[in-house]
């Protein structure tokens, strides 16, 4: 019998922090029809004519702030995760790592599996909460590639793992070392999405952003909603740490453009908390399984400086899952379930 293939897929990273590589990464990322989900002509004008030319030099500078001797932290930790999962699963499995954008590509990873004559493929997008622009894009890309093969093995997907017990425990463990009870407030800051992408996930057309607190409780209507799954992740981590509901806020960072994105925005929450006299904030970023630009720079540097300028004292990031052994066990659990 052949080996069982396990494909771990994260978002991606430039090959280097230099402008030319950042430009290639942003172009591929933002031209994805699930990321900027507008008609192709307008997307091309926006991405190639406005966003990529203007953002590439700025984003290059930010990547240079977090790039270290290991290169991109996201790729570094993702490689470790894949290697440790392979070690745990043993010789009956063939584990590959891919990035949705840039390298190693999904197609190259799938080609290795095909060459290895795997008997099945299980795809695990490394995004705890499902979003069309992340997990959905990975799943679509894999299906497009495999659909062209002459012989297609059984292929399955893990669309989300927002409530995985081992993953939640790692976030809680990482937070305990900072003594959450000594902070004035806790933030669960998720990567943002345009509101229209949430609305597209509401197949009833009468629930998303139309019901009060529509994301606060996960139910049959919103079970695939990125925001609702994020709220559920936050609630479950908070419960492990005995953080009362009034002592934490779910918010969203990394907004792009002027149209409405999922709210509240993290920057607005920082202003509100500073105005209330809060001085010390503990911040989780549970949409990421490995530390990256959004955690190591946006939260650790930008939000810390912004909060201090507003009168606050400190913003402390709770590091991501990275190479924590319990998270490796979580991935193994997802692979064999």
CA distances from 178 to 134, 164, 192, 256 (A): 30, 23, 26, 31
What is the bridge-based pairing of β-strands 4-12 and 93-101? parallel
pLDDT at 258 over 90: no
Mean pLDDT across the chain: 97
Contacts of 302 (CB under 8 A, 6+ apart): none
Which pLDDT tens digit goes with each residue over 135-170?
999 999 999 999 999 999 999 999 999 999 999 999
pLDDT band of 104, cuts 50, 70, 90: very high
Which pLDDT tens digit goes with each residue over 162-205?
999 999 999 999 999 999 999 999 999 999 999 999 999 988 98
Average pLDDT of the segment spanning 108-126: 97
Which pTM was predicted? 0.96
User: Higher model confidence: residue 204 or residue 335?
Assistant: 335
Contacts of 70 (CB under 8 A, 6+ apart): 76
pLDDT band of 300, cuts 50, 70, 90: very high
Phi/psi at 217 (nearest 5 deg)?
-125, 130
CA end-to-end span of the chain: 19
pLDDT at 271 over 90: yes
Q: Give the Cα separation of 330 and 333 in Å (integer).
A: 5
């Amino acid at each position: 019998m052949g080996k069982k293939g396990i494909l771990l897929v994260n978002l991606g990273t430039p090959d280097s922090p230099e402008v030319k590589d950042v430009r290639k990464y942003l172009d591929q990322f933002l031209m994805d029809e699930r990321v900027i989900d507008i008609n192709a002509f307008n997307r091309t004008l926006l991405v190639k004519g406005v966003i990529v030319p203007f953002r590439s030099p700025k984003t290059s500078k930010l990547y240079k702030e977090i790039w270290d001797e290991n290169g991109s932290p996201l790729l570094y930790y993702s490689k470790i995760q894949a290697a440790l999962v392979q070690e745990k699963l043993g010789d009956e499995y063939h584990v590959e790592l891919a990035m949705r954008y840039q390298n190693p590509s999904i197609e190259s990873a799938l080609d290795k599996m095909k060459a290895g004559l795997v008997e099945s493929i299980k795809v695990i997008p490394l995004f705890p909460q499902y979003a069309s622009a992340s997990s959905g894009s990975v799943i679509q890309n894999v299906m497009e590639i495999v659909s062209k093969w002459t012989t297609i093995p059984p292929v399955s997907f893990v669309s989300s793992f927002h409530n995985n017990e081992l993953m939640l425990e790692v976030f809680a463990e990482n937070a305990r070392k900072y003594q959450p009870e000594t902070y004035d407030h806790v933030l669960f800051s998720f990567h943002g999405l345009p509101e229209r992408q949430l609305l597209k996930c509401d197949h009833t057309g009468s629930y998303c952003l139309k019901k009060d607190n529509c994301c606060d409780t996960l139910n049959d209507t919103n079970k695939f909603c990125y925001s609702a799954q994020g709220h559920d992740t936050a609630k479950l981590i908070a419960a492990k740490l005995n953080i009362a509901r009034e002592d934490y806020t779910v918010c969203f960072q990394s907004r792009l453009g002027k149209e409405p994105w999922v709210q509240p925005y993290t920057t607005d929450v920082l202003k509100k908390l500073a105005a209330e006299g809060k001085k010390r904030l503990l911040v989780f970023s549970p949409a990421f399984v490995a530390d990256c630009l959004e955690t190591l720079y946006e939260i650790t540097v930008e939000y810390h400086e912004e909060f201090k300028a507003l009168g606050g004292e400190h913003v402390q990031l709770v590091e991501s899952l990275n190479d924590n052994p319990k998270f490796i066990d979580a991935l193994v659990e997802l692979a064999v379930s």
